[in-house]
Structure 1
Amino acid sequence: MFGYFRKLPLSILFLFLCLSINAQTKITVQGTVKDINNVPLQKVSVLLNHTHTAFTDENGHYIFTEVPTRTENTIRFTHTGFETLQQKVKGDQLDVVLLPSTAQLQTVEITGRTETGYKNTASFIGTKTATPLKDVPQSISYVTKELMQDQAAVRMGDIVKNFSGVNQFTFYDDITIRGFRINGGSTTQLLNGLRTFTGFWKQPMVNYLERVEVIKGPASALFGNASPGGTINRVTKKPLAEERKSLSFTMGSFNNVRTLADFTGPLNDEKTILYRLNIGYENTQSFRDLQFDKNLVIAPSVSFLPTEKTRINFDAVYNKSNSRLDRGQSVLYQGDLHSTPISRSLSATNDYLNEETYTVTASLNHQFSSRLAFNLAYLRTGYTEDLLEHRSANAYAVDSAGKAIPNLVARQSFIRKKNPTSDNASAYLTYNIETGKVSHKLVAGYDYATSKLLPGASQLTASNYQLKAGGAAAYNPAKAADYVFYTYTAADGTKMSIPKPNVSSFDINRNDNKLEDPSKYTYVAQNSAVLPSFNSISGVYLQDQIGFGNLKLLVGGRFETYTDKQFYKTDSVKSVSQHTFLPRLGIVYSVTRNINVYGMYTKGYNPQDVAVQTNPLSGGPFDPINSKLLEAGLKTEWLNGNLTANASVYHIVQTNTLYNANEPGNPDKMIQIGEETAKGIELDVTGRITENWDLTVAYAFNDAVISHSGKADSSLIGVQKPNAPKHQGNVWTKYTIPSGPAKGLGVGAGANFVTERNVSLNTTQSLPGYVLVNAAVYYKVNKVTLQVNFNNVTNKTYWVGGYDYIRLFPGAPRNWQATISYTF
């Protein structure tokens, strides 16, 4: 017993030493959590070794004390709206960046994008599922609202220079992608992933857009008929769960005045009802004679989140535009591009173009389980056009012998009213499942879209030359005695007797704009251009994204039915249907954490335009357009995911494209080209180099030519497709001083270039290449930002596109915009 008590102090001492040693080996583990914009995240759940939990404070800081020393600790970060992140830490400090969650992206993006900057992480456009862009086996380019703001972009034409392989075709909502033309007048554009159209003539404002995306190559396997070059998707701004409000005022060259407002936030304390309202007003003139634009955009959006598994969204965009339609610049007959001022237009002072466009979207996303989700969306688009215009007749006026007068452009006048509509409904299921080590992301869906032009649309056309017997007709020198003649006095005083036009010709050597009297013209109802029409597209599609280790496969297909109701709204109505199957195969392999390689094969299909098919003067009916794409490339991420660098090579073949035959006396005559081929390389770099330095770079080489033809057009083989430059590129960068006396001061600079282009299949008419330099200065003080943008700094004369030398579309000379914005 005595021995036991004698050993007790030693035992207590040993226990004390053990406790001391143990106490000395406990550490504190801490760090900060931020988003990709370097903003601290509050209330992030942080789980240490699956047992201890902490939350980040308002500075994004978390801390665990009394952590036993071990080889490494496991920390898991979870936060609503962000991807879960789990990492191991061997020391006492771990700072992390959380990426936005892609799980909330559905057919229509219901939740707002939380990223800021030029980089976008994910999109549904490539797969109709929540897939990071690096895992989509197809090239997708995008421009975010931040880049639009920094460049003071107002319309799509201001944006497209940032996309590799995309080029303007005209002033209108009309572009080429990889050498293939698309325009807003057809339902091959997407709004939040749903088929829609714009008015074609005027490019809509972009103030209500979160970003603009281009999926390169045919997207037909998911969205129905589409251009083989690519499809544009406009993503609208969505409500956010936090209060944000901003106002901006802009003034600049050409008497430009613009006001924008953007308000968003929750409508209730539970944040289950969110709203967003974008408003834009613009009143501007142009460097082009008599041209102006007055635009009003109202874009409300409401999100309803009744449960964590159900989301409902309502969006609307209303655009009212009052302007004149600018058909472009004309130069002297067989003259050079500089023979007339780029400011000269052929409009009359009483011309007008009044347009109204609306889109209304309703969408539902319900998550039945962590694996199964249902998506339902409906989009209605309506457009109203009220037009009076004086424009070229696509020819020069003639003398008594029928020869062109070099400085006198023949004109015609249109009076047109129409109101087409489209409807698009889409429903699909997504299901995620794992079979052993193989994961599947399944999509099964159906969509139905219609496009209608109801009775009531009409067009009156005045053209040709006056007849003595009354009326008007194309001039025939052999029957000159049948026509009215008048004495024309040239600018140099020379007089000549020439046929009198129905609509006065325009002397492009002088400013001949004046008030015209359309009541004196002889009009012909040209209703073939606006006959009632109805067409529908329906499709059933299946898709499986298969994951196995570093390998991802995409296998999909769509069975599509296209129906055109000929002689719509008459007793002779007849439905004509066409069917096709569109496969899509893709592969992505993760070489490293930062580098993915991919390959893609897909087919596309496009029925010919209804107006052309039903026009008896076009030479139709014509076979549908078919296409196929082979593409491969790299998708990489650097600088902790803040910067992406992608490259792609592609080969596209399209058959049965229609071109204007340029047949004298029949401007509606079309010819069908046997085959076109486009092949090229594209490079894109986008993102943030440092916290205060943003960058975007794009380059494309595109060889788009006529590769096969019939007997009538064999001379066209090897001809470069219109408005498809072989080389083009863009760079833009912005740097903001982070500290010191000049804190908040930023500068932006960039340039874009385009090489020579044909304006038609007539290779004697081409547009020169050009390089444009742009710059900007920014200064932010608290909640106020001052911004001045300088465009075309070197005052370069250039043309963005054209149809021929009578319809050329020059770019703006040197100009500036100054903006003051306030956020609160």
Structure 2
Amino acid sequence: MKISLSSKLHFTSRLVLAFLLISTIAWSQNATIKGRVTTTDGKAAEFVNVILKGTSKGVVADDEGKYELTNIKPGNYTLQASFVGLTPLTKKITLAAGQVLEENLELTANSQQLQEVLVTANPSKYVSDYPSISLRLKTPLLELPQNIQVVTAQTLKDQQIFDMSEGVTRNVSGAARSEHWETYARISMRGSRIAAFRNGMNVTEVWGPLTEDMSMVERIEIVKGPAGFMLASGEPSGFYNVVTKKPTGMTKAEATMTVGSFGTYRSSMDFDGKLSKDGKVLYRLNLMGQMKGTHRNYEFNNRVSIAPVIKFQINPTTSLTAEYTLQGVGMSPIGSAYAFSPKGISDLPHDFTMLEPNMRTTNIKDQSIFITLSHSINANWKFTGQVAYLHYDQVGESLWASGFSGDTLKRTSSIWDILGQTKVGQFFVNGDVQTGGIKHRILAGIDMGNKDFYHDWSQGGIVGDLNVYKPVYGQIPAKNYAVYDRSLGIRERGVHYNNVYTALYAQDEIRLANDKLRVTLAGRYTSTNDIDPYSGTVKSGKFTPRFGLSYSINKSTSVYAVYDESFIPQAGGTFEGKNLILSLATTKKWESKKNGSMAAGMPQQVSIESPKTTC
């Protein structure tokens, strides 16, 4: 039997129409849930995750806290709302066919806000509206009287940045790294080296710390300009804060492999999940292995890192997080990036090297332990306690030049062994208080640190001559290189640096005019005891104030002014032999911010006060 084309089309159209009719009927029998998510103070809880447990249905609340779940089959369900810093809420619901259920949800704050990283405050994956909790601040970046730039995890991933010294500074205006230190994250900004923080604690060392591998990093926060209030003692140019990955409570795993030029092979794995069925014990494990050369022959930097984290939710208001990190490095002698010429800069090709193929490997072992206790006292007050121990061990050498004889470079080497031990701790409270129509955001706490460093660069030797225009490598036997005497421990043969400090601080952020105007009043008293093998010993203490003013012109623009002081004890002396204590004080400055980034501003000025203390 033959069927005409028109008959086929007529039959097909009927079939499609019947299918659409059945689908419409089925859809109309499904239910809908909608509502608004708020916090206990009545404000909209934006970007909260709202899901139906046991299904694939889920949605993120918008900036007004509104959410809607559609096309749900009739039945009994558990509705759950959750967000970092808020206590998860679950509700049992029953849906009938065609029902539109309005379910408003109210969430309360919990202690997670003190230890988790808040990243999802802005829908953009490259922009964050909030600082991490490790900076001890609860105020959005746009409202702070401070310039803070955030390099997000997505930025690090998309730019394929391997470590802190490799490419982070390209994302931060005015920041640059020191090229000599392939192993250390020495970053300069606004006229001086900025301090290194990890999870909100000052881990700056004489030469370190070792560059953090990005496999264990969640985000990097660059605090620019006067930051003495957060620094304790340190340069007024600012600091960078590396925030490491923590457990999220979600079960997931990720593995990456990178193959690149100059013999680069790298693999990393990230595991995240629960160690107990009730979710009270969570874990995060990051592993990384890397072999990497450079555009210079015989130069390499091979690394391995292991970073496990365990979080114990002791009760609904208290949690304990323990984090261990091991980083191992095997690399060519430090300082091999130098290119010396008898004629001047840019004379030699970019791939010129002073290295030889059979030089000894410099080995570094860096370990750290961070323990964080977070406790929600009540709905308005939270306590955080954090301690850390960092151990840095380096056995290696540095490559230098002693001069030229015509076109021939005289190469030398020097032992460079390091032992570093850092013990730091901080304890602080955050609180919200209201007096009449004025809101107060309180921060108060104590910082403590004890840093010991032993360095040995007292032994050296001759590597051999090299014609920089006609270099010939591989002609020097390994037995001709200097042999360093390590029969004594580094504590006995090395020079000793020590820094001990204690700081007490308090801050009141006064919020006026419906939170459009913020006035910050703060102060810190810092006591230090420094031992320097070259400058001497100095003990000192100083009170440093901080005043801030911030005003929101609209939702995306604010202006601010800040006055802050940084306290830097100096062990130098006068011609008469008197020791002096100098402090660097930053002057007032006005700047404007748009969407959390700097829009315009005046350059920071630095002045040196007259001596106020003698030792």
For this structure pair, what is the TM-score category when the shorter chain's length is used for normalisation?
0.7 to 0.9
Are residues 627 and 170 of structure 1, via their aligned partners in 2, closer, same or farther at CA, if it must alter by over 3 Å?
Answer: farther
Q: Which amino acid aligns with 1:652?
A: Q
Moved more, 441-450 or 506-515: 506-515
Are residues 524 and 274 of structure 1, via their aligned partners in 2, closer, same or farther at CA, if it must alter by over 3 Å?
Answer: closer
Q: Residue 291 of structure 1: SS of its match in structure 2?
A: coil
The residue that corresponds to 1:452 in the other structure is 452
Q: Contact 1:299–1:315 at 8 Å: present in 2 too?
A: yes
Q: Which amino acid aligns with 1:542?
A: A
Are residues 102 and 519 of structure 1, via their aligned partners in 2, closer, same or farther at CA, if it must alter by over 3 Å?
Answer: farther
The residue that corresponds to 1:511 in the other structure is 471
The residue that corresponds to 1:635 in the other structure is 593
Q: Residue 510 of structure 1: SS of its match in structure 2?
A: coil
What aligned pairs does 1:770-781 form with structure 2 within 5 A after superposition? none
The residue that corresponds to 1:598 in the other structure is 560
Q: Contact 1:459–1:527 at 8 Å: present in 2 too?
A: no
Are residues 134 and 567 of structure 1, via their aligned partners in 2, closer, same or farther at CA, if it must alter by over 3 Å?
Answer: closer
Are residues 453 and 179 of structure 1, via their aligned partners in 2, closer, same or farther at CA, if it must alter by over 3 Å?
Answer: closer
Q: Which amino acid aligns with 1:425?
A: G
Q: Contact 1:125–1:233 at 8 Å: present in 2 too?
A: no
Alignment match of 2:276 (pick from 262, 265, 268): 268
Q: Which amino acid aligns with 1:234?
A: V
Are residues 635 and 360 of structure 1, via their aligned partners in 2, closer, same or farther at CA, if it must alter by over 3 Å?
Answer: same
In the alignment, the residues of structure 1 paired with residue 500 and residue 300 of structure 2 have an alpha-carbon distance, to the nearest angstrom, of 36
Match status 1:179 vs 2:143: no
Q: Contact 2:48–2:82 at 8 Å: present in 1 too?
A: no
Identity level (%): 20
In the alignment, the residues of structure 1 paired with residue 59 and residue 480 of structure 2 have an alpha-carbon distance, to the nearest angstrom, of 72
Alignment match of 2:302 (pick from 294, 308, 323): 294
Deviations along 1:244-275, one digit per CA (max 9) or x if unpaired, are 21001110100110000011122222212111
Q: Contact 1:432–1:441 at 8 Å: present in 2 too?
A: yes
Match status 1:559 vs 2:511: no
Q: Contact 2:496–2:532 at 8 Å: present in 1 too?
A: no
Q: Contact 1:431–1:443 at 8 Å: present in 2 too?
A: yes
Q: Residue 431 of structure 1: SS of its match in structure 2?
A: strand
In the alignment, the residues of structure 1 paired with residue 443 and residue 47 of structure 2 have an alpha-carbon distance, to the nearest angstrom, of 35
Are residues 140 and 516 of structure 1, via their aligned partners in 2, closer, same or farther at CA, if it must alter by over 3 Å?
Answer: farther
Q: Residue 606 of structure 1: SS of its match in structure 2?
A: coil
Deviations along 1:629-648, one digit per CA (max 9) or x if unpaired, are 433333344xxxxxx55424
So what's the TM-score if we normalise by structure 2? 0.76
What aligned pairs does 1:499-648 form with structure 2 within 5 A after superposition? 503-514=463-474, 515=476, 530-548=494-512, 549=514, 550-565=516-531, 576-607=538-569, 624=582, 626-637=584-595, 644-648=596-600
Q: Residue 345 of structure 1: SS of its match in structure 2?
A: coil
Q: Which amino acid aligns with 2:186?
A: D
Are residues 628 and 212 of structure 1, via their aligned partners in 2, closer, same or farther at CA, if it must alter by over 3 Å?
Answer: same
Q: Contact 1:100–1:114 at 8 Å: present in 2 too?
A: no
Deviations along 1:544-564, one digit per CA (max 9) or x if unpaired, are 111112211111111111102
In the alignment, the residues of structure 1 paired with residue 320 and residue 49 of structure 2 have an alpha-carbon distance, to the nearest angstrom, of 29
What aligned pairs does 1:76-475 form with structure 2 within 5 A after superposition? 79-81=82-84, 104-106=112-114, 109-110=115-116, 113=119, 117-124=125-132, 128-156=136-164, 157-172=166-181, 173-182=185-194, 188-197=195-204, 200=208, 203-324=211-332, 325-337=334-346, 339-348=347-356, 349-393=358-402, 396-397=403-404, 405-453=405-453, 458-462=456-460
In the alignment, the residues of structure 2 paired with residue 578 and residue 79 of structure 1 have an alpha-carbon distance, to the nearest angstrom, of 48
Deviations along 1:721-778, one digit per CA (max 9) or x if unpaired, are xxxxxxxxxxxxxxxxxxxxxxxxxxxxxxxxxxxxxxxxxxxxxxxxxxxxxxxxxx
Unaligned runs of 5+ in 2: 1-30, 38-43, 61-66, 71-79, 88-99, 611-615
The residue that corresponds to 2:74 in the other structure is none
Are residues 654 and 527 of structure 1, via their aligned partners in 2, closer, same or farther at CA, if it must alter by over 3 Å?
Answer: farther
Q: Residue 464 of structure 2: SS of its match in structure 1?
A: coil
Are residues 136 and 125 of structure 1, via their aligned partners in 2, closer, same or farther at CA, if it must alter by over 3 Å?
Answer: farther
Deviations along 1:289-317, one digit per CA (max 9) or x if unpaired, are 21011100111111111222112111121
After the TM superposition, list the runs of 4 or more consecutive aligned residues in structure 1 that deviate by more than 6 angstroms.
32-40, 92-96, 98-103, 522-529, 619-622
How far residue 359 of structure 1 moved from its aligned partner, in angstroms, is 1.5
Number of equivalenced pairs:
528
Q: Contact 1:166–1:175 at 8 Å: present in 2 too?
A: yes
Q: Which amino acid aligns with 2:586?
A: K
Q: Contact 1:243–1:264 at 8 Å: present in 2 too?
A: yes
Deviations along 1:383-442, one digit per CA (max 9) or x if unpaired, are 00101343223xx23xxxxxxx45233332212322111110111222221001101111
In the alignment, the residues of structure 2 paired with residue 620 and residue 281 of structure 1 have an alpha-carbon distance, to the nearest angstrom, of 52
Q: Contact 1:449–1:536 at 8 Å: present in 2 too?
A: yes
Q: Residue 169 of structure 2: SS of its match in structure 1?
A: helix
How far residue 450 of structure 1 moved from its aligned partner, in angstroms, is 1.0
In the alignment, the residues of structure 1 paired with residue 198 and residue 329 of structure 2 have an alpha-carbon distance, to the nearest angstrom, of 19
Q: Residue 134 of structure 1: SS of its match in structure 2?
A: helix
Moved more, 294-303 or 321-330: 321-330
Q: Contact 1:389–1:413 at 8 Å: present in 2 too?
A: yes
Q: Which amino acid aligns with 1:633?
A: E
Q: Residue 335 of structure 1: SS of its match in structure 2?
A: coil
In the alignment, the residues of structure 2 paired with residue 626 and residue 374 of structure 1 have an alpha-carbon distance, to the nearest angstrom, of 32
Q: Which amino acid aligns with 1:192?
A: N
Deviations along 1:580-636, one digit per CA (max 9) or x if unpaired, are 22211111112223332221111112235x8xx79xxxx997754513143333334
Unaligned runs of 5+ in 1: 1-27, 45-54, 65-76, 85-91, 183-187, 398-404, 464-501, 569-573, 638-643, 658-673, 675-824
Q: Which amino acid aligns with 1:381?
A: L
